[in-house]
Amino acid sequence: MAKRSLLVGFGGFLPERVVTNEELATRLATSDEWIKTRTGITRRHLAGPDDSATSMGAEAARRALDYAGLSADDIDVVLVATSTPDQAFPATAVRIQAALGMTHGFGFDIAAACSGFIFALATANSFIRSGQVRNALVIGSEVYSRIVDWQDRGTCVLFGDGAGAVVVSASDDESGTRGILSTHLHSDGTTGDLLYVDGAVGQPDKSGHLKMSGRDVFRHAVAKLSSSVDEALQAEGLSYADVDWLVPHQANIRIIEGVGKKLGLPAERVVVTVDRHANTSAASIPLALDEAVRDGRIQKGELVLMEALGGGLTWGSVLVRL
């Protein structure tokens, strides 16, 4: 049985179209200052007519495979975290599997909203530690621009589109210190009405738009993410001082700064992309991770804490030494 799951490949994809706060202000009763002050967001990428959860996820996956020096033939499972699949079925994962030219292995989607990548990464870790797979592609791909209500300034300004991916591989070195150290997942269905999409395939009379009680979600996020941080570190007998990098879900700069302060991390040790990407839901953590690894900020051997909260409510954390 493999002792550790190593993150060996990183990739991201953002649609070409960039929409600034100023552009949104020409169509909505809002302003750059209003959006930036409350969220930290200045712009976001929005999918074009040829972009989809499948196409963006497949491109992020190709870049992650290239980074890892692996090919699609080496992958045993494709796990896709998405709340905006191209179809009810088949899963986006198998569409990406086909786009990569894979005719072996298996794939499926995981729906945990903004926590989806954390849930998918934990699932990949379990598959690897059980010995069932050696190499996994874990992808977050979202097209939230197609489910937000573009007349609702309280929600539409918050989201963007994109995809991020990591390659997770088994290590047979039981004495090694690198790899995923712990994962912790939670959900509370009694809070499901705080953040949800109003409708599905079986409910054609619904709006199909994202609905959110912003203040309530913010309150839960601060409390639950703080407890998730403590849980992850306590499980490994570590302290705040041991964390080299925080790579959080990119929902709101105030939440990100709050968790960073709890850890005692200076701002330069917290990876922030929300200002340029907005909230890309399940894609936000792998996009941020890809950026920080590729620009040299995060180095091999450093301790990285990832955490997220999303609709469900769902929340969780992954602690990994790269």
Residue length of the chain = 322
Are 42 and 278 in contact by the 8 Å Cβ rule? The answer is: no
Answer yes or no: 249 catalytic.
yes
Phi and psi, residue 219, nearest 5°: -65, -45
Query: Which residue is catalytic, options 21, 45, 114, 135?
Result: 114
Q: Which amino acid is at 97?
A: Q
Answer yes or no: 114 catalytic.
yes
Query: Which residue is catalytic, options 21, 125, 252, 279?
Result: 279
Query: Which residue is catalytic, options 184, 249, 252, 277?
Result: 249
Question: Which residues have C-beta within 8 Å of that of residue 61, sequence separation ≥ 6?
Answer: 11, 78, 96, 100, 137, 139, 165
Number of continuous H segments (helices) and E segments (strands) in the chain: 10, 13
Question: Which residues have C-beta within 8 Å of that of residue 238, sequence separation ≥ 6?
Answer: 303, 319
C-alpha span between 57 and 120 (Å, rounded): 14
Answer yes or no: 279 catalytic.
yes
Strands in 117-231 per DSSP E: 135-143, 161-171, 179-187, 195-197, 210-212
C-alpha span between 193 and 209 (Å, rounded): 13
Indicate the Cα dihedral angle 140, 141, 144, 145, nearest 10°.
Answer: 150
Q: Nearest-CA neighbor of 53 among 23, 13, 16, 24?
A: 13
C-alpha span between 216 and 21 (Å, rounded): 24
Are 125 and 183 in contact by the 8 Å Cβ rule? The answer is: yes
Residues labelled as active-site residues: 114, 249, 279
